[in-house]
Amino acid sequence: MSRLGAQKKLFDTPESLANGLVYRPDFITEREEERILNMIGTLPMEHARFGEYTSKRRIAAFGWGYDEENERFIRGEALPEFLESLAKKIAKWLDIPRFRVVEALINEYEPGTQLGWH
């Protein structure tokens, strides 16, 4: 069973979603979900920073980043191999070339972490 399977009953999809938000049930298979979650567990996560502030959430970011000190975009780490099948599915769904799917942000929230700025 999917790790999120039990939560589906707790968090039903609302009648209407925020403008621009799209929910696709079963976009990935349970096997793909399990594989992605296992690989996420191996990533080096860092606390998110914004200027002088450090968040309690930890992140792993891929694709473009922003150099605040020099006020410019910088090329970051490429998407890891384990996200390749997901990137292909996203490209197909959006009807865009695969090379256009270049960014991913993985957030980790420990139990009890308050959600502040992002």
Question: For the chain, what are the domain ranges?
Answer: 7-108
Examine the pLDDT at 30 and tell me if it is beyond 60: yes
**H or E element in which residue 58 lies:** strand 53-62
**H or E element in which residue 54 lies:** strand 53-62
Examine the pLDDT at 3 and tell me if it is beyond 60: no
pLDDT tens per residue across span 69-88: 889 999 989 999 999 999 99
pLDDT at 11: 60
Confidence (pTM): 0.74
pLDDT at 19: 86
pLDDT band at 40 (very low <50, low <70, confident <90, very high): very high
Taking residues 85-111, what's their average pLDDT?
A: 94
What 106-110 contacts at long range (C-beta under 8 Å, 24+ apart), as own/partner pairs, is 106/40, 106/43, 106/45, 106/59, 106/60, 106/61, 107/48, 107/57, 107/58, 107/59, 108/45, 108/57, 108/58, 108/59, 109/56, 109/57, 110/56
Taking residues 97-108, what's their average pLDDT?
A: 94
